Amino acid sequence: MNLTISGHHLEVTPALREYVLTKLDRITRHFDQVVDINVLLSVEKLKEKERRQKAEVTLHVKGKDIFVENCHEDLYAAIDQLMDKLDRQVCRHKDKLQDHHHVAAKRIDATL
């Protein structure tokens, strides 16, 4: 798994890097077929003070790319909400990959 954490108008401190890594553990625990993760943390120069901190993740899994972004006034809160969104999307993708079709009982008896 390739992991890239970068900042735009922001220096990625070791504390931020560690926080993102601990949050990403939850994602990799649910779904272990992750190929590549790109995390971009940025500070936007917006007039609205409450939406300045932005976190984005592009997650490349086998067969699909998942992109999630979130804005908040606190970067740590933005990362928390971002990981919640990403977790839901990864679980939904994993659910789609699993085969939920079962052979009907009538068909099993007919073949015997």
Return d(Cα 85, Cα 5) in angstroms, integer.
Answer: 18
- Give me 76's structure tokens: 């740590």
Return d(Cα 62, Cα 92) in angstroms, integer.
Answer: 14
Task: Lowest mean pLDDT of 9-23, 44-58, 76-90, 95-109, name the range.
Answer: 95-109
Which DSSP string corresponds to 7-64?
EESS---HHHHHHHHHHHHHHHHH---EEEEEEEEEE---S-GGG-EEEEEEEEETTE
pLDDT digits (tens, 9 = 90+) for 71-94: 988 999 999 999 999 999 998 988
The pLDDT-based confidence of 11 (bands split at 50, 70, 90) is: very high
Q: Give pLDDT, residue 87.
A: 92
Q: Give pLDDT, residue 41.
A: 94
Domains assigned to the chain: 2-111 (3.30.160.100)
The pLDDT-based confidence of 111 (bands split at 50, 70, 90) is: low
Return d(Cα 78, Cα 54) in angstroms, integer.
Answer: 7
